[in-house]
Amino acid sequence: LDLNCFRAVIFYTENICSERTILTPLKGDVSGFLARPKAFTPERVHITPVKQTDRPQGDPWTPTANLKMLISAASPDIRDREMKKSLFRPIENEKDATFDTCQFDNIDDCTADEFEKQRPSRKLKSLGLLCQKFLALYPDYPISTEKTTISLDEVAANLGVERRRIYDIVNVLESLLLVSRVAKNQYCWHGRHKLSQTLETLHNMGKRQRYGEQMAQIQEKELKSRDPRKDGCLSEPHEELTDDLELDRKDKSLRIMSQKFVMLFLVSKTKIVTLDVAAKILIEESQDASDQSKFKTKVRRLYDIANVLTSLGLIKKIHVTEERGRKPAFKWIGPGDFRSSSDNGSAVFEERLDTGPQLASCGKQKMARHSSFNVIPTTTVIQRRVNSAPSSPHQAKGRCELPAVSALNYSTAVPSFGHPLPKTDLLYSALYPNGVMRCPPTVSTGLLTQPTDSAPFSTQSSLVYFSSLPPSPIFMVCGKGAPQSAYPRVEGPRSPTYTEAEAHLKSGVLKRILIEEQEQEKEQTSKKQKIDKAHPGLNGLNFLVPASHAGSGLALSPSRLASVAVPCVVLPSTALSSFPVIGGTLPGNDTGSVNLKISSAHFLFGAQPVVSSRSPDRPACQDIPAAYTGNLQPEPDSSCGADNPKSPESMGRSFVFPRMHHEVS
């Protein structure tokens, strides 16, 4: 926080001092932090020789010089936005800075001519180093309310590289949910808050794929037939897998490759993976093996990925000695001893505190949740899509490209806050049939936010609030009153996102998972029906709206809400008076309030603990001392239902909530 403040001050200072700096945004301009514009103008022998145009002359090289450039390059609104977020900051990677400085000092000592041939070391331009610089721009554990947007253009200019290179980095980071794409040219930085859960999920997925066995087989084969690349890349031992996976060419994506690569490490006993083994496995999955060039290409990509992972401190380069000599390999040095998983996939979460202070105690709840965690999410998204009726344009088509990525959105809840879930209250049983938390993530993902963007945060919060507050009241329950609504899901808008996710799902890794998920889905539906019968008062209860972190994750827009026909709102209970209900600022509304237009809303809110000793199977409505239950609309039930989408104008009342930030109401 302090650092951010500091940065903000710097930014401000620079901003007010740079009125003269009127620069044109230059594509590929390399006057980044590392360059010294003054000394090397057009020739700039250092840095990637991208096609660049002129660089403004005479700007003294200061740590913030390029900040000025970026500021002026940015459009006003971007500028404002970024100002708030303190995105622009100089690279602070000491090691790199030193390194680079040395380089440039050397340059200083030479004439430009001399140095012209002497191109900068390749290392200076390596993806790994670039990635380090990239990572240095953002905090590992950002404050969740502080949503940092990454502009690819800006960061590329910042780092003095072509955007193409940034894609390489971002794609891998995205595969681990460190970032997510929110819009064209725009990513959102999440940091490592969820890295552990992400890895855990990947671990489980890797187990499902039997990557461990595959690796063993390949290694075994290598021992027998000296040439690892020759003997059937279409190995027969994996038939069940291939059958199961319905291999699709989509596997080529760097993101998916990255995830799979990580899986290999996680399931490996030695935590060591050689590139050729990895490449082999990945090729096998795409069924186009036995092709030397394919192999080569695969390995190349793996190098790219490995570089990023190395920069992340997740793996390191090592060498393994085999009969045939030394062989390069990578060893996992990141968090995650996720072993102890049982066969059914429910793993004991053995995570330590190495993923951040929030991840204190997770305990059994997490286990309970975990078993489905790596199974459900993807399908949840898909299912929702299938079920969803609303179809308003989904503004930001945040791509939820990776099944795993979608899945991982679920990972945030408990661990980040470390409070066990109440197992026995009504909502628990309602929302988490089978003891599995499923609803909130879906809700926030599909309803209030962009799927891949803020979902993790909002998801997080809903669960947290629900489970952690000692006298944990139901602070916000929204319902549709529509019996047909997906339970306990909210009807999200159809979005290309889901289509993509679905496509990816079907395309390979998660097919089996999908099937399992669907089965669970049915199971849940029937459970839901039972609950609905027993508790008509809660019929139609769809979701729990996240209350905390609202400022960070929720992007509530009236039109969006309207488009999905959000029918109700739940007010905070007294006990929660100091917590935000729904925070965040509406686009274009910076007044500090959130407007929710409500129509025909079933709602319910309470001020008493909802945790009871009931079993989830016997949910008790009376355990929720709702302060009020009813319908916001004058004509009760007149327009409840998913089939009753309303325009914002026709929506009923408008509630204005005081803006509340993270902790302050």
Partner DNA sequence: TAATCCCGCCACCTT
Partner DNA sequence: AAGGTGGCGGGATTA
- Least CB distance from residue 125 to DNA, whole Å? 4
* Contact flag: residue 307 with DNA (CB under 7 A): yes
607 three-state secondary structure: coil
Residues 480, 598: Cα–Cα separation, whole Å: 11
Least gap, CB of 435 to DNA (angstroms): 36
Residue 351 to residue 349: CA distance in whole angstroms: 5
The residue among 501 and 624 lying less far from DNA, judged by its C-beta, is: 501
The only residue of 81, 125, 316, 506 in contact with DNA, by rule CB under 7 A: 125
Give the 3-state secondary structure of 186-220: EEEECCCCCHHHHHHHHHHHHHHCCHHHHHHHHHH
Of 221 and 229, the one with the shorter C-beta distance to DNA is 229
183 sits near DNA (criterion: CB under 7 A): yes
CA distances to 11, 182, 580 from 475, in Å: 39, 29, 10
Would you count residue 599 as binding DNA (CB under 7 A)?
no
- CB-wise, 275 or 477, nearer to DNA? 275
If the CB atoms of residues 509 and 594 are measured against DNA, the closer one turns out to be 509
Residue 230 lies near DNA (rule: CB under 7 A): no
Interacting residue with DNA among 61, 99, 141, 303 (CB under 7 A): 303
160, two tokens: 């003095």
Contact 162, 32 (CB under 8 A): no
In angstroms, give the least distance from the CB of 431 to DNA.
32
Q: How far is the CB of 384 from DNA (least distance, A)?
A: 19
Q: Please confirm whether the linkage preceding 488 is cis (ω < 30° from 0).
A: yes
x/- letters, 5..44, toward DNA (CB under 7 A): ----------------------------------------
Residue 139 binding DNA, by CB under 7 A: no
Q: Is 186 in the site for DNA (CB under 7 A)?
A: yes
Cβ closer to DNA: 251 or 491? Answer: 251
Select from 78-86, 139-147, 246-254, 376-384 the region that touches DNA (CB under 7 A).
246-254
Query: Which residues touch 13 (CB under 8 Å, ≥6 apart)?
Result: 64
- CA separation for the pair 546, 531 (Å, rounded): 22
Strand partners, 180: 188
Strand-strand pairing, 315-322 and 653-658: unpaired
Query: Hey, CA dihedral for 273, 276, 277, 281, is it positive or negative?
Result: positive
Asked if 453 is part of the footprint of DNA (rule: CB under 7 A), the reply reads no
- Residue 659 lies near DNA (rule: CB under 7 A): no
Q: In this complex, which beta carbon is closest to DNA, that of residue 99 or of residue 141?
A: 99
Count the site residues for DNA by CB under 7 A: 49
**Smallest separation (angstroms) from DNA to the CB of 443:** 24
Burial group, residue 365, by CB count within 10 angstroms (0-12, 13-18, 19+): buried
Q: In this chain, which of 92, 140, 146, 162 binds DNA, going by CB under 7 A?
A: 162
628 phi/psi in degrees, rounded to 5: -160, 145
Q: 325 or 357: whose CB is closer to DNA?
A: 325
Bridge partners of 249, per DSSP, are none
Asked if 496 is part of the footprint of DNA (rule: CB under 7 A), the reply reads yes
> Is 149 a binder of DNA (CB under 7 A)?
no
Judged by CB under 7 A, the residue of 210, 221, 252, 614 near DNA is 252
Answer for which of 188, 275, 464, 604 binds DNA (CB under 7 A) is 275
Between 396 and 565, whose beta carbon lies closer to DNA? Answer: 396
Cα(165)–Cα(169) distance, rounded to whole angstroms? 7
Residues with Cβ within 8 Å of residue 304, at least 6 apart in sequence? 127, 168, 172, 254
> Binder to DNA among 4, 41, 103, 126 (CB under 7 A)?
126
Determine which residue in the list 99, 141, 167, 655 makes contact with DNA, applying CB under 7 A: 167
**What's the closest the beta carbon of residue 117 comes to DNA, in angstroms?**
9
Measure the CA–CA gap between 583 and 652, rounded to whole angstroms: 20
Locate 383 and state its tokens: 């299912």
Strand partners, 463: none
CB 228 within 8 A of CB 280: yes
- The interface region with DNA, picked from 167-175, 196-204, 365-373, 547-555 by CB under 7 A, is 167-175
The yes or no reply on residue 152 touching DNA (CB under 7 A) is yes
Q: Kindly identify the residues of this chain, within the stretch 397-416, that bind DNA according to CB under 7 A.
A: 397, 401
Give min distance, CB of 162 to DNA, in A: 6
Q: End-to-end distance of the chain based on CA atoms, in angstroms?
A: 19
Nearest to 218 by CA among 195, 201, 241: 241
Q: Give the integer Cα–Cα distance in Å for 583 and 446.
A: 17
Which is closer to DNA, CB of 162 or CB of 213?
Answer: 162
φ/ψ bin of 225: left (φ > 0), alpha (ψ from -120 to 50), beta (otherwise) = beta
Candidates 42, 328, 393, 625; binder of DNA (CB under 7 A) is 328
State the Cα–Cα distance between residues 577 and 548, nearest whole angstrom.
12
Q: Is 153 in the site for DNA (CB under 7 A)?
A: yes
- Residue ranges binding DNA (CB under 7 A): 48-50, 119, 121-123, 125-128, 152-153, 161-165, 167, 170-171, 181, 183-186, 252-255, 275, 293-294, 296-297, 299-301, 303-304, 306-307, 317, 327-328, 397, 401, 496, 500
